[in-house]
């Protein structure tokens, strides 16, 4: 900036033409104001104030009394360059919003009583909050907003913009969007999330989908925390909630499945689980038919399109075709020779379709064949949760400990510690669970298990 001032001063002689000076200053003010309005919607409109222009000229050491006609153009160029630099560096304007139909409380909290409440953002994005629902606007910046849906239903129409960034958090889930129209509801009492996508695309992340599940227009996602279940169906399926293969084909819940190995409780030291665990490379599971090597898709005949990978089918909600293909090839062979991506997709498909037996075997194989990977570590938590939900909290604690030791900052860390706390209380009592509760509150003071932890800590 000082260099610009030096260049401008060097080009200004001492002779003065007052009339021309006034005309040139007026032209300069008009040009800079017009350019600033185009670049930032008037963010530099204050430059149009003649007194402020004089202040800038004084900063450059160029009062009108010392600006000569012959070199005034050079001074204008220097000042214009300075204005352009300021426009380029000027921070983007933070979005604002107004609340209609409900009073806006401190901290961005909005509660719709008997009538719908509506939030209107300055970029055109709208959020309609159903009666009886509560939402808090946690953060707002130039790119978008982060909102917390505490309970109830919200309908969003997000205006598409470059680099837009919006999210709606509901319980342990987050819906990430850039520009779209969707409805999201969260029932805090039973831990159920529902997302109906009408336009665009979103990604839903949470404990049941740590890698994120993308949704396309016309799809519905329902996640049930208590059952450990996520299902994707069509919004137009007359309110049906199920997998893409059909809601009538619901498999038994893994919550009721026995721990790996039948009556035997398994833990991290017993990674084989049952007879379906990984075998030496090259062997084939007994009774498994010979077939194409495990993988996300088979070789297609000439001219035919290859089948989508298992991971893509899981992302699209087609869980049952993954399971059917794995069983057709021979489940044992898939577990022994399948890629990491295929094992992860198979485990996810089995969990979402409530095939606990297959999910346990796929997770066990993932840990045994790919130790140290993020998926191998996550499998410890998922196995612990399945054993826990299956009625063996004592065995689950060992899995939770394994996960927390291997991935203390992982995506399941808060839930693993919270579930461990509950499991310890169930098996060893409140006194034994209190240290775990204190650790949970220290690490996750606003986590989903914080109320339970505080109850254990308080005398």
pLDDT in tens, 115-135: 889 999 999 999 999 988 889
pLDDT on residue 28: 56
Domain check: are 411 and 291 in the same one?
Answer: no
How far apart are alpha carbons 74 and 56 in whole angstroms? Answer: 15
Instruction: Evaluate whether residue 266 is within a structural domain.
Output: no
Instruction: Evaluate whether residue 304 is within a structural domain.
Output: no
Domain check: are 198 and 108 in the same one?
Answer: yes
CATH of the domain at 140: 2.60.120.1440
Domain check: are 136 and 192 in the same one?
Answer: yes
Domain check: are 105 and 202 in the same one?
Answer: yes
User: What would the pLDDT profile of 353-391 be if each residue is shown by its tens digit?
Assistant: 878 899 999 999 999 999 999 999 999 999 998 888 888
- Three-state DSSP class for 123? coil
pLDDT on residue 400: 95
pLDDT on residue 299: 46
Domain check: are 60 and 156 in the same one?
Answer: no
Domain check: are 137 and 236 in the same one?
Answer: yes
Instruction: Evaluate whether residue 390 is within a structural domain.
Output: yes
Domain check: are 241 and 375 in the same one?
Answer: no
How far apart are alpha carbons 231 and 223 in whole angstroms? Answer: 6
User: What would the pLDDT profile of 400-424 be if each residue is shown by its tens digit?
Assistant: 999 999 999 888 888 899 999 999 9
Rounded to the nearest 10 degrees, the angle between the axes of helix 18-40 and helix 72-89 is 20
Would you give the DSSP letter of residue 104? Answer: B
Instruction: Evaluate whether residue 410 is within a structural domain.
Output: yes
DSSP tally for the chain: helices H, then strands E: 14, 14
pLDDT beyond 70 at 136: yes
Instruction: Evaluate whether residue 116 is within a structural domain.
Output: yes
- Three-state DSSP class for 135? strand
Token pair listed for 81: 């360059």
Instruction: Evaluate whether residue 271 is within a structural domain.
Output: no
pLDDT on residue 209: 76
How far apart are alpha carbons 129 and 124 in whole angstroms? Answer: 16
Instruction: Evaluate whether residue 264 is within a structural domain.
Output: no
Domain check: are 109 and 220 in the same one?
Answer: yes
pTM over 0.95: no
Mean residue pLDDT of the chain comes to 73
CA distances from 301 to 108, 207, 231, 306 (A): 58, 39, 32, 8
Domain check: are 361 and 375 in the same one?
Answer: no
Token pair listed for 312: 């893509």
Q: Tell me which of 56, 89, 122 is where a domain ends.
A: 89
Q: Tell me which of 64, 89, 114 is where a domain ends.
A: 89
- Three-state DSSP class for 68? coil
Domain check: are 389 and 422 in the same one?
Answer: yes
Q: Tell me which of 231, 248, 265 is where a domain ends.
A: 248
The most confident of the ranges 83-87, 159-163, 226-230 is: 159-163
Domain check: are 106 and 199 in the same one?
Answer: yes
pLDDT on residue 4: 47
How many independent structural domains does the chain possess?
A: 4
Instruction: Evaluate whether residue 268 is within a structural domain.
Output: no
Token pair listed for 235: 């919004």
Residue span of the structural domain in which 8 resides: 2-89
Domain check: are 124 and 235 in the same one?
Answer: yes
């Amino acid at each position: 900036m000082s260099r610009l001032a030096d260049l401008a001063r060097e080009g200004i002689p001492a002779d003065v033409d007052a009339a021309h000076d006034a005309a040139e200053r007026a032209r300069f003010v008009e040009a800079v104001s017009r350019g600033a309005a185009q670049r930032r919607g008037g963010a530099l409109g204050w430059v149009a104030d003649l007194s402020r222009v004089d202040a800038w000229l004084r900063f450059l050491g160029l009062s009108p009394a010392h600006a000569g006609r012959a070199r005034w153009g050079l001074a204008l160029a220097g000042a214009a360059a300075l204005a352009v630099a300021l426009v380029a560096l000027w921070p983007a304007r933070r979005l604002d919003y107004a609340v209609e139909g409900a009073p806006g409380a401190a901290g961005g909290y909005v509660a719709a009583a008997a009538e719908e409440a509506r939030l209107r953002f300055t970029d055109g994005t709208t959020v309609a909050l159903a009666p009886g629902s509560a939402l808090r606007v946690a953060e707002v910046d130039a790119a978008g907003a982060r909102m917390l849906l505490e309970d109830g239903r919200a309908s969003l129409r997000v205006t598409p913009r470059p680099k837009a960034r919006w999210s709606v958090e509901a319980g342990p889930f987050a819906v990430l969007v850039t520009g779209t129209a969707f409805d999201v509801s969260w029932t805090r009492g039973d831990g159920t999330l529902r997302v109906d996508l009408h336009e665009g695309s979103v990604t839903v992340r949470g404990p049941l989908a740590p890698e994120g599940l993308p949704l396309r227009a016309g799809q519905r996602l329902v996640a049930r925390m208590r059952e450990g279940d996520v299902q994707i169906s069509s919004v137009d399926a007359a309110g049906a909630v199920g997998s893409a293969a059909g809601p009538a084909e619901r498999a038994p819940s893994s919550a009721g499945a026995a721990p790996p190995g039948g009556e035997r409780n398994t833990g991290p030291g017993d990674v084989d689980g049952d007879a379906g665990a990984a075998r030496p490379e090259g062997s084939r599971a007994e009774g498994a038919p010979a077939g194409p090597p495990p993988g996300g898709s088979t070789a297609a005949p000439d001219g035919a399109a290859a089948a989508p990978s298992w991971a893509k089918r899981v992302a699209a909600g087609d869980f049952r075709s993954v399971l059917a293909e794995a069983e057709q090839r021979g489940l044992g062979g898939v577990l022994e020779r399948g890629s990491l991506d295929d094992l992860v997709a198979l485990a996810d498909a089995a969990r979402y379709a409530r095939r606990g037996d297959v999910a346990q075997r796929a997770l066990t194989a993932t840990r045994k064949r790919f130790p140290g990977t993020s998926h191998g570590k996550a499998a410890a938590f998922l196995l612990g949760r399945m054993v826990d939900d299956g009625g063996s909290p004592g065995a689950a604690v060992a899995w939770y400990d394994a996960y927390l030791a291997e991935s203390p900052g992982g995506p399941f860390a808060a839930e693993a510690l919270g579930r461990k706390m509950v499991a310890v209380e169930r098996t060893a009592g409140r006194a034994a669970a209190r240290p775990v509760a204190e650790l949970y509150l220290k690490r996750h003071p606003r986590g989903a298990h914080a109320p339970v932890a505080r109850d254990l800590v308080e005398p």
